[in-house]
Chains A and B, each alone.
Chain A
Amino acid sequence: QVQLVQSGPDVKKAGSSVKVACTASGGTFSTYVIAWLRQAPGQGLQWMGGIIPVFGTTNYPQRFHGRVTITTDESTSTAYMELSSLRSEDTAMYYCARSMSLSADAFDIWGQGTMVTVSS
């Protein structure tokens, strides 16, 4: 069974960037979608984008205005999410998750989450 393990918590200054890693083990990595989602304290979930590793195809929502970049390293079965121009409202738990497509499907396997704190 595939497991997704994320990098550890991070504290960043406003205006800087953060890069979170998500490493897959125990199964196929390349042909599924790896998506990134976040959850601000006490809030609901928000989709940040996704990638199909084998094709490098990505899909992002408009609301991040180009601040999100998702990449993969197939040699290590690792996906990365980089968020730039950080602001205090980006403080959240960030999750990677697997789905079957870049639209409409459920997220069936999740990483444990990475807390990112943005300080001014």
Chain B
Amino acid sequence: QSVLTQPPSVSGAPGQRVSISCTGSSSNIGAGYDVHWYQQLPGTAPKLLISGNSHRSSGVPDRFSGSKSGTSASLVITGLQAEDEADYFCQSYDISLSARDYVFGTGTKVTVL
């Protein structure tokens, strides 16, 4: 049960800029919890791209950037490359009345045209 909403797919030509949104609510992103982003290549485990809303993991190219505002967050790829074709997930933490839980986005497939 994904609590964070992402667009199912985005696409762009090599060199273009694409943006992926991650929309939550007042019990997760809006409550101040950080958003983290993962890249998942076909048949592989997720790889942490960005943590704490905007901090790139070691070795991640600087064409990847993240931001957060209110109840939403965004991942931007500037200068899209063929190797960026993958699924991308956001993650945060939720503190609803009944439970505390890690929550993930619905996932976005990035296609390089």
Interface residues of A (CB under 8 A from B): 44-47, 61-63, 95, 103-108, 110-113
Contact = CB atoms under 8 A, between A and B. Distances in A.
A41 to B, nearest CB: 12
A108 B57 contact: yes
B50 to A, nearest CB: 8
Top 9 A-B residue pairs of the complex, sorted by shortest distance between their CB atoms? A47-B102, A106-B36, A106-B51, A104-B93, A110-B45, A45-B104, A44-B2, A61-B101, A108-B48
Contacts of A104: 33-34, 92-93, 102
A70 to B, nearest CB: 14
Given A104-B34, A104-B93, A106-B91, A44 B45 contact: no
23 contacts: A44-B2, A44-B89, A44-B105, A44-B106, A44-B107, A45-B46, A46-B1, A46-B104, A47-B101, A61-B102, A63-B1, A104-B33, A104-B102, A106-B51, A107-B36, A107-B46, A107-B48, A107-B91, A108-B48, A108-B51, A108-B57, A110-B46, A112-B45
Nearest to B91: A106
Given A61-B99, A108-B57, A95 B104 contact: no
B91 A45 contact: yes
Contacts of B104: 44-47
Contacts of A110: 45-47
B70 to A, nearest CB: 18
Contact of B98 (A62, A103, A112, A113): A62
B100 interface: yes
A57 B33 CA distance: 22
Given A45-B104, A95-B46, 11 more contacts: A47-B104, A61-B99, A62-B98, A62-B99, A95-B45, A106-B34, A106-B52, A108-B51, A108-B57, A110-B47, A111-B45
A106 B99 contact: no
A35 to B, nearest CB: 8
A113 B51 CA distance: 21
Interface string B85-113: 00001011100001111101111000000
